[in-house]
Amino acid sequence: MKQEILHLFKCRGALLQPQALNYILSLSDPIRESNRMLNSMEQCPLFITLEDVLQYTKNAFASDGGTSSLEKSVTKSITEIIPSENESEIILVKEGKKEIQKSEELSKVEELKSSGISPPWHPIAKEYSVQFKKGKDITGNSTCSGDIKDFVQYFCDRFNQMKKLLRVRRELAGAVKLERAKKQTDKFATICIIADIRTTKNGHRILEVEDDTDTATVLIKKDSKSANLPLVKDEVIGIIGSPSRQGSGTFHSVSPQKRYKNEEGSLLYADEIIVPDVPRTHEPHFSKEPIAAAFVSDIHVGSKTFLEKEFDRFLKWLNGKLDYERELAGKIKYLVIPGDVVDGIGVYPGQLDELQIVDVFSQYEKFASLMQSIPDYIQVIILPGNHDVVRPAEPQPTFPNEIAKLFDKRFVLLGNPATFSIHGVDVLAYHGRSFDDLIMAIQGLTYNTPIDAMRELLRMRHLVPIYGEKTPIAPEHSDMLVIDPVPDIFVTGHVHDIGTDYYNGVTMINASAWQSQTSYQKMLNFNPNPCYVPVVDLQTLRVMNLLNFAR
């Protein structure tokens, strides 16, 4: 429990004083109270002390009017727990008992192992029913034919959805349209889309922006607050700024020789750029039952470089047949696969020479037969990726019927991206094709830093912020690539690397791959990191373990 509480606070960027942790542990529902406490804080301090926690409980008790379940916790904590010496003893005794129980269990297992008998396999996940709810998915909901009108409608909808997310930000509550912002003689706030970005030789950044009323040129000075903020073309942002004639540092001081101006002669100064971001108050949902989810991606069945032996080892592990993290294997209730389940055909130059199975339908047949060995109490959720046989433009609908019929009903086939809930936990799954564009556009991002790219997508609240590069976008009338609502788990794949981290209450997973380096990847000097499986405890959203099946 201690680790879970510390994890919750770490997710919000806070550290707990030991006395504060002990106090929280004494409450009747420490996890719920921790979440409530974090959500009640507008700005989370770096160090949370016992005084902070006591203040919270006092306030919460007062606002509940003594009627909520917190009443019992507060009363209990004030009367019994405050003497820290007694409380420490209680915890030590409890832990001591746990240790004794654990060592007894371990010695039984060791005994069985030494006698050559495998301990019986009783997966706890089998005792709980699947709780799966489908969310956003383009499958069966496509509205576009791909003409110019569709694109106009798509970008209008994207802008309106993003504007709604940005308007929640306090700084942008009074945002005005660009046309009006250009006429302001004082500070203003506006929301616009970036049409172009360039950097001057003096290191200042120039944005060409637009909204549905006007266009403008915006200067971000190199010494401003937002000078180093990663920004990309087509991103929707908020600007807190001032007009050129009113700017705090006049633009003559930026470049005496050259005025950065658009056709109307107006230049706006950006004092600060606001991105929609994930609010720090995001309250994740947790499972009430002690089960877990595993994440694997980019299996690439059909390729000569598919790591079949290692994948088979993973399947054996799921069935409790490996003497490796066996108890954890029994907790897996959901398996999420965000795309590239087969290698496909004609996806990259020279791929044909590297295929073991050259018929794409046979690749899916092989994949489906491998999946059959997954225990029947596990729900498997599968999305397509850029190697799968669905339309390349995103959002991608799910697999066609000829392929879907290879899977029985415990396999849920969704589009890419898709949102769904497992045991009450909201998941956003996306293959990750837009990483290709993001890595090219943002300095410091590489194929080996997928978590940093995921964090940028969450900050931008859009899965494919850049249009017109490697990731094709289908102009659906409603933009399904906007990240709304905020998920509890955000999972991607595509880059064949592993990564896990937490950002403002969101657990981020970049699932690994099951393919060794292809000649194409070698040419690009890309080294994959295959055969890792992150497992997330759905009661805490904490990554319990990062398993390695390459050994």
Positions touching Fe ion (CB under 5 A) are 298, 340
Shortest reach from residue 394's CB to Fe ion, in Å: 15
Residue 321 makes CB contacts below 8 A (sequence gap 6+) with none
Question: d(Cα 291, Cα 376) in Å, to the nearest integer?
Answer: 15
User: Which residues does 293 contact at the CB level (< 8 Å), separation at least 6?
Assistant: 332, 333, 334, 335, 336, 422, 425, 427, 489, 535, 536, 538
Residue 184 CB, shortest distance to Fe ion, in Å, is 48
In the complex, what is the shortest distance from the CB of residue 508 to Fe ion, in angstroms, rounded to a whole number?
A: 18
Q: Which residue has the tokens 């595993």?
A: 294
Two structure tokens written together for 152 = 């106009």
Among residues 323, 303, 304, 321, the alpha carbon closest in space to that of 312 is found at 321
**483 near 458, Cβ under 8 Å?**
yes
Least distance to Fe ion, CB of residue 494, Å:
6
Q: Count helices and strands (H / E) in the chain.
A: 16, 19
Look at phi and psi of residue 65 and say left if phi exceeds 0, alpha if psi is from -120 to 50, else beta. Answer: left
Min CB(300)–Fe ion separation in Å:
6
In the complex, the smallest distance separating the C-beta of residue 432 from Fe ion, rounded to whole angstroms, is: 9
User: For Fe ion, which is the closer residue by CB, 298 or 488?
Assistant: 298
Is the separation of the CB atoms in 342 and 388 below 8 Å?
yes
Nearer to Fe ion, 234 or 298 (CB): 298
Q: Return the closest-CA partner of residue 498 out of 488, 483, 487, 508.
A: 508
Of 298 and 479, nearer to Fe ion (C-beta) is: 298
Contacts of 332 (CB under 8 A, 6+ apart): 123, 125, 291, 292, 293, 294, 318, 378, 535
Q: Using CB atoms within 10 A of its CB, is residue 46 exposed (0-12), middle (13-18) or buried (19+)?
A: exposed
Please identify, using beta-carbon distances, which residue of 211 and 298 lies nearer to Fe ion: 298
Our CB check for Fe ion shows the closer of 298 and 354 to be 298
Cβ nearer to Fe ion, comparing 30 with 417: 417
Cβ proximity to Fe ion: between 337 and 460 the closer is 337
Rounded to the nearest whole angstrom, what is the least distance from the CB of residue 431 to Fe ion in the complex?
8
Minimal distance in Å, beta carbon 407 to Fe ion? 20
Nearer to Fe ion, 495 or 506 (CB): 495
The distance from CA 116 to its chain's CA centroid, rounded to whole angstroms, is 43
